[in-house]
Structure 1
Amino acid sequence: MSIAHAVAAAVSFTWLGMVIAISFIEAPLKFRAPGVSLQTGLSIGRLVFRALNTVEAALAMVLLVVLVADPPSPTVIVAVGVVVVVLAAQLLVVRPRLTRRSDLVLAGPAGPHEVDQPTRRSPVHYSYVGLELVKIAALVISGAAALAGA
């Protein structure tokens, strides 16, 4: 196995761990902590996901550079391509919609005639979770295939 392929595997599995830890452990648990309001949880979530997405973009760049430097198998290339496309969809399509929705909650009601704030998850939230699941599968495949040299 080349150093580039080992780096690709390490980056894939590091990224995988970050997504699982933040999206599926930290994010839902913060809303169950005593004393954490919806507004506080959303504010924390925005900061955490902004940081995660920044690191994800950097990891995507590392993977792309490594793949260009020493092209691996088609399996790794396709899996990394899926990861990059999913991340782009999350950043460019889904996150802006989630941000607009959380802006409404964080702003609070403007007056007695204000439309009720959203109180349940939107379909956009579920699309983000669905994309996270696709990203997880693609990261597992890219990491395993890079390790196996497949």
Structure 2
Amino acid sequence: MIWSLLFVRQLALTLWLGGLVVIDFVETPIRFRVPEVNRNQVVAIGRRVFAALNKLEVIAGAILLLSDALLLPHFRAGVRPLEQSAMETVAAMWLAASVQLVWVRPRMSALTRGLDLVNRDPADPRFAKIGRLHKVYSGLDLLKMLLGLLTLALWVHP
């Protein structure tokens, strides 16, 4: 059972962190460079992609937290503090993903719906709001990546 829980938690973090890195650093930049797709279409696709990613992240975080909670009693005393710290970093990742899912992304999506991003008017105050929300979203993504790497480092204990 311990081996299965370790496998599940590592798979969940791999999918979460890997998906986050691929979408943020590969898929999104490519999507903006496709000449056959205009900015309105790029944003519409992005809404769907990030909605799916946010759901995956919250599910992966719940799986990680559950497996960590079940594993913690099985670790020897010297390792427990590292595992507890890893569990706390996963909890922080999960919280960041949850904030994106229920607060940041829905607000950004609502602001961009019906907004012409091709012939945009820079004076439209919605663009400033979208920009601020996008910075919050991007900051939370960066935080999740750093916490995910920290979690991996804590799992690779002596």
> For this structure pair, what is the TM-score category when the shorter chain's length is used for normalisation?
0.7 to 0.9
| Per-residue CA distance 1:45-91 (angstroms, 9 max, x = gap) | 11111111221122112112101211261221111111011111111
Which residue in the other structure is 1:30 paired with? 31
Matched, 1:12 2:21: no
Matched, 1:127 2:136: yes
Count of aligned pairs: 143
1:11: how far off?
1.9
The answer as to whether partners of 1:104 and 1:117 remain within 8 angstroms in 2 is no
CA distance in 2, matches of 1:19, 1:76: 19
Unaligned runs of 5+ in 2: 73-79
TM-score normalised over the length of structure 1: 0.81
1:28: how far off?
2.5
Identity across the alignment (%): 26
Alpha-carbon distance change, 69 to 116 in structure 1, aligned in 2, over 3 angstroms: closer
| Per-residue CA distance 1:32-54 (angstroms, 9 max, x = gap) | 11111111111111111111122
1:6: how far off?
4.1
Q: 2:148 aligns with which of 139, 142, 147?
A: 139
The answer as to whether partners of 1:5 and 1:66 remain within 8 angstroms in 2 is yes
What do you get for the CA RMSD once the two structures are aligned? 2.7
Mapping for residues 1-150 of structure 1, pairs under 5 Å: 2-3=2-3, 4-71=5-72, 73-105=83-115, 118=127, 122-146=131-155, 148-149=156-157
- What secondary structure, in the 3-state scheme, does the structure 1 residue paired with 2:36 have? coil
TM-score normalised over the length of structure 2: 0.78
CA distance in 2, matches of 1:90, 1:39: 21
* Higher RCO (CA 8 Å, separation ≥ 6 residues): 1
1:121: how far off?
5.7
What residue identity is the alignment partner of 2:89?
Answer: A
1:118: how far off?
3.4
Alpha-carbon distance change, 135 to 59 in structure 1, aligned in 2, over 3 angstroms: same
Which residue in the other structure is 1:112 paired with? none
1:18: how far off?
0.3
Unaligned runs of 5+ in 1: 110-114
